[in-house]
Amino acid sequence: MRKLYLLILLATVIAGSSFIIHPPNPFSDDQVKIVQLYPNPATSIIFFEFAKDYDKQNVLQVYSFMGKKMAELPVNANKISLNLDNNYYRGIYIYQLRDKSGQIIETGKFQVVK
């Protein structure tokens, strides 16, 4: 009888474990993105497209992986381009979309291959 009880308990635990609800991960990429960029990796130019309900007072900042500010572009259209001149070397770059008060709205990364 004791073995039957342990077997039922084990079966209940195994079956019940698939019904556990996990809280959402705040660091996942499931959030709706405001900025879409392409091509990634980029060679000579990269395009940033913004959602239709973007704020025209936002600023897009681009940093090298070492933290050097490479560009600061006002978001005055829903698509802007960034020419990757000789100052952009092969590597990873970070972009930040900031609102007029300087708060980060969205951040992401892209790769340059030359």
> Residue 89's CB: how many other CB atoms inside 10 A?
11
Which helix (H) or strand (E) segment is 16 a member of? helix 2-16
pTM above 0.85, yes or no: no
Distance CA 20, CA 35 (A): 33
With cut-offs at 50, 70 and 90, classify the pLDDT of residue 51: confident
User: DSSP readout, 24-67?
Assistant: PPTTSTTSPPSEEEESSSBSSEEEEEE-TT--TT-EEEEEETTS
Of 70, 59, 60, residue with least CA distance to 93: 70
User: Over the stretch 62-105, which tens digit does the pLDDT of each residue have?
Assistant: 999 999 999 999 998 889 999 999 999 999 999 999 999 999 99
Position 16 scores a pLDDT of: 52
- pLDDT greater at residue 37 or residue 9: 37
Distance CA 104, CA 19 (A): 36
Domains of the chain: 33-112 (2.60.40.10)
Residue 17 has pLDDT above 50, yes or no: no
Mean pLDDT of the chain: 82
Sheet of 69-74, strand order: 69-74, 59-64, 91-98, 104-112
Q: DSSP 3-state assignment of 114? A: coil
